[in-house]
Structure 1
Amino acid sequence: MKKIDIITYGCKLNQSESAFIGEKLEQLNFEVSFDKKDESSDFILINSCTVTSEAERKIRQYIRSVKRKNKNKKIIVVGCTSHTNIEGLKDAGADLILGNFEKKYIEEYIDKNGIFVDKDYWNNEKDRVFIPNKPYNSYSRFFLPIEEGCLEFCSYCRIIFARGNKIRSISKKEIFDAVDNIIKSNIKEIVLTGINLTYFGHGTDYNLKKLIFDLNDKYENNDIRFRISSLYPDFIDEEIIRLINSSKIFEKHIHLSLQHVSDNILFNMGRKYDEKYLYNLFNMIFSINPIFSISADIIVGFPGETDQDFQKLIDFVNTYPFSRIHAFRYSNRPNTKASRLNNQVPGNIKKERMSEFQIHIQKSMNNYLNSLLNKKSRVLIEKNEKNKSYGYDEFYVYHEIPQKLEKDNFYDVIINNINKDGVMSNVL
């Protein structure tokens, strides 16, 4: 039996697709592992990401390091970087390069070498969103893909070149059938994922808001938890927040593709909201629940970002308690509008701003975690280690519990301290 290690970079949709690829390879009698970087494997399959130059650099670096140790080991690179930097992957030593369409049909290519990338695969009638049967890498949560594609054309992003400007959504029936099967498998958390979830159902009479309400109605009495992976701020309204805040099965948490708060930067990014909208949105959310959990992606050092623009970011995260912030230094991506903008921020300034911003991020996160002290929450146990248990609660906060508990089960706890990863709690 041949061994293949699947290594996944990037988003949750990639992880879902890696799980699907792994299942196909198991049917071909491969022994499949995930993210182990096992030197004894016969094949390495890298499901790639093109969001940042750093992600691409790490992929090329890893390919070279594998080839230095064993030049005969077959390396397969699939996914987004295959659409944006074929030559870089080829020069690094990749033997087989597949696009986002071809990777879904891995059984047709696994024995080949070369480059097979349909540059506009989203117009291929055979392209569709596939749902795996099992969670990625035996995780306690299931990444459920419901959408692919984006219509935003943000000036800094080239995902649209790799995933397309045509929205492909799975049907309501497919989603509910998948959820039913996941529940039967005794998996307790489902994460709805896609390239841009706010476009789910685009072109039909169904949409993400209707789906959220329908899922809540059907499964509210099940021992299950739903999380929504990432949303644009202008999708959120009071109805949605009130529903997920009062729901028994949806996390009291949203992750926002925020990116910035300054009107000047948001306009040049091509975002459709402004600073006033964001303050009103956050005020509305925290008026409903002062400990509602908000995490966000934020870019520091976008072209034209002045000291005043950067200060607006700092002021915002000092105003509101975030449960988590993923901050990135702006990465100049080829062929994007942002790469051609004037006033590119020098690398040393971006680095200095990021260092300063991290201090304010930590303060905002600590403020949020401190607001949870002595509060009750419900933790889904994901792992046990040295007589301790670990897992996330309904606020998407990570818990350390000083006793060994049953994995993949919910426990009511009380939060009594914070640590570097989240909080510490005791079972009630």
Structure 2
Amino acid sequence: MSKNVSMITFGCKLNQAETQAMADKLNCIGYNITFDEKNGKNDIYVINTCTVTSEAERKIRQLIRRIKRKNNYVKVIAVGCYVHTDAEKLKDIGADLVLGNLEKKFIDKYINDSGVILNKSYWLKNQDKIITPEKSFDDRTRIFIPIEEGCLNACSYCRIIFSRGTSIRSLPINKVLKAISNYIDLGYKELVLTGINLNQFGFDNAETLTELLEKIEENFGEDDIRIRLTSMYPEYVDKKMVEIIFNSKIFEKHVHLSIQHFSNKILNLMGRKYDKNKIIEAIELFRERDKFFSITSDIIVGFPYEEDEDFQELLNSIKDMKILKVHGFRFSARPGTKASKMENQVLGNIKKDRIETLNLNSKNISEDYRKELIGKEVTILSEKIDDNYIYGYDEYYIHHKCDFKNINPVKNKFYRVKIQDISDEGVSSYVL
């Protein structure tokens, strides 16, 4: 009898892509795949973990305990980044099998094992490879394509280098193109390129992200698809890259920039390789071509030495730059990082107040940005349809609740629409 496996993901888009790839492997050897923790028929839970914040780790531990309390006989497999920082803890609280970031890529070989299987420095022995999912198992219209792993930056607050490595591994351009072609054949309309630091793609094989974008346009520029870029770093954005994006009809008018802060003092303490002016320069390169070009970003508040004026500069800059959406985090002192040993740690209550202020301000900034779009014609990809509305995202990565008349809408199809108002998280529109 086939066993039911529930796949649960914490963390970044790269983790989401790797969860899909693991699901592929398990499905190929006879396992039924779900993504529902509450399904009482699950025999195995695979939890793809994150170690970016202590809060993420707390939620992972809480989930493992909750699953085991409900049914101690189900098998819990913890995989990924948290494993590299505290594998034994995960085993002690109930994980039956613990796999590192190399081992999870071969989960089909380890599925019947137990205990901890972990090569902590797997990236140094050339055993690693980028794995791409064959398909999405959760009925989405988009698919995430991992093209890069590893990071050379060693920021003072980050543990990702401990779990993803200090050497770059890239999916060669020819393999990226092959993957895109396969996904188009399978009917996917939105393809999202992801990695730990997308701009460091090709550092291991003399290829570049700009070269990849050129090849994607050359091969698929006339296809009925959309390409989205994530995990971009401001210091790598240049005019040539921007020109490729804007001279193409398939690249979205949106990027996710890893900004973290706008205060030069804090950016320097974080060990980031850019300053405030470089962030502004990168955003303005996009906005010169389209004033509505949307930016989403990760932001950390409460970093050591962050004072009121630094925080206010952050808020002012997010407003000035009209950031569409902020993924805000309270600074979390991660063991083994330089930032955890810094003096002038910000008190917990101050960090709490600042993240609440950031979230409120960001919500208002997003609303103001979306109000400026009222009356604009855009293109949405239909992801969900009910009796009254089409739901989906446009090329600016804005969610639509779209009214339709005199058509029979189809899922996974592009529709030209007009924005008529804003909603809580996006906009309302109607099909033209």
The TM tier, using the shorter chain, reads: over 0.9
- Given the alignment, which residue of 393, 407, 426 partners 1:422? 426
State the Cα distance separating 1:38 from its structure 2 match. Answer: 1.7
- Given the alignment, which residue of 410, 415, 419 partners 2:414? 410
State the Cα distance separating 1:166 from its structure 2 match. Answer: 1.1
| Counterpart code for 2:232 | L
Distance 2:398 2:219 in 1: 26
State the Cα distance separating 1:305 from its structure 2 match. Answer: 0.3
Q: How many residues align structurally?
A: 428
| Counterpart code for 2:12 | C
Residues 28-427 of structure 1 aligned to structure 2 (within 5 Å): 28-403=29-404, 405-427=409-431
Distance 1:61 1:303 in 2: 28
Contact 2:10/2:50, CA 8 A, preserved across alignment: yes
Distance 1:256 1:358 in 2: 18
State the Cα distance separating 1:238 from its structure 2 match. Answer: 2.3
Distance 1:362 1:246 in 2: 31
Give CA-to-partner distance per residue, 1:215-257, whole Å, 9 cap, x none.
1122111101000111011111122223313420000111100
| Counterpart code for 2:389 | K
State the Cα distance separating 1:26 from its structure 2 match. Answer: 1.3
Q: 1:255 to 1:52 in 2, by over 3 A?
A: same
| Counterpart code for 2:211 | K
Distance 1:385 1:60 in 2: 37
TM-score, normalised on structure 2?
A: 0.96
SS in 2 for 1:252: strand
Contact 1:8/1:35, CA 8 A, preserved across alignment: no
Give CA-to-partner distance per residue, 1:119-147, whole Å, 9 cap, x none.
00112333100111102522111111111
| Counterpart code for 1:379 | I
Distance 1:164 1:312 in 2: 33
Q: 1:297 to 1:207 in 2, by over 3 A?
A: same
Give CA-to-partner distance per residue, 1:252-307, whole Å, 9 cap, x none.
11110000011110000000111222233333332321111111111011111011
Q: In terms of mean alpha carbon deviation, does 86-95 or 280-289 score higher?
A: 280-289
Distance 1:29 1:75 in 2: 18
Contact 1:16/1:136, CA 8 A, preserved across alignment: no
| Counterpart code for 1:413 | V
Give CA-to-partner distance per residue, 1:158-209, whole Å, 9 cap, x none.
0110010111111111111111111111110100011111110003331001
Partner of 1:9: 10
Give CA-to-partner distance per residue, 1:338-360, whole Å, 9 cap, x none.
10111000010001111122222
Distance 1:280 1:5 in 2: 44
SS in 2 for 1:414: strand
Unaligned runs of 5+ in 1: none
State the Cα distance separating 1:386 from its structure 2 match. Answer: 4.4
| Counterpart code for 1:162 | S
Give CA-to-partner distance per residue, 1:307-363, whole Å, 9 cap, x none.
111111011012121211111111111111110111000010001111122222112
RMSD: 1.3
State the Cα distance separating 1:11 from its structure 2 match. Answer: 1.1
Distance 2:321 2:427 in 1: 19
Distance 2:136 2:294 in 1: 25
Contact 2:280/2:321, CA 8 A, preserved across alignment: no
Contact 1:7/1:37, CA 8 A, preserved across alignment: no
Unaligned runs of 5+ in 2: none
Contact 2:294/2:396, CA 8 A, preserved across alignment: yes
Q: 1:36 to 1:380 in 2, by over 3 A?
A: farther
State the Cα distance separating 1:411 from its structure 2 match. Answer: 0.3
SS in 2 for 1:75: strand
Contact 2:170/2:204, CA 8 A, preserved across alignment: no
Q: 1:35 to 1:337 in 2, by over 3 A?
A: farther
State the Cα distance separating 1:117 from its structure 2 match. Answer: 0.7
SS in 2 for 1:85: helix
SS in 1 for 2:138: helix
State the Cα distance separating 1:98 from its structure 2 match. Answer: 0.5
State the Cα distance separating 1:36 from its structure 2 match. Answer: 3.9
State the Cα distance separating 1:105 from its structure 2 match. Answer: 1.0
SS in 2 for 1:336: coil
Q: In terms of mean alpha carbon deviation, does 281-290 or 10-19 score higher?
A: 281-290
Q: In terms of mean alpha carbon deviation, does 272-281 or 375-384 score higher?
A: 272-281
Contact 2:370/2:422, CA 8 A, preserved across alignment: yes
SS in 2 for 1:24: helix
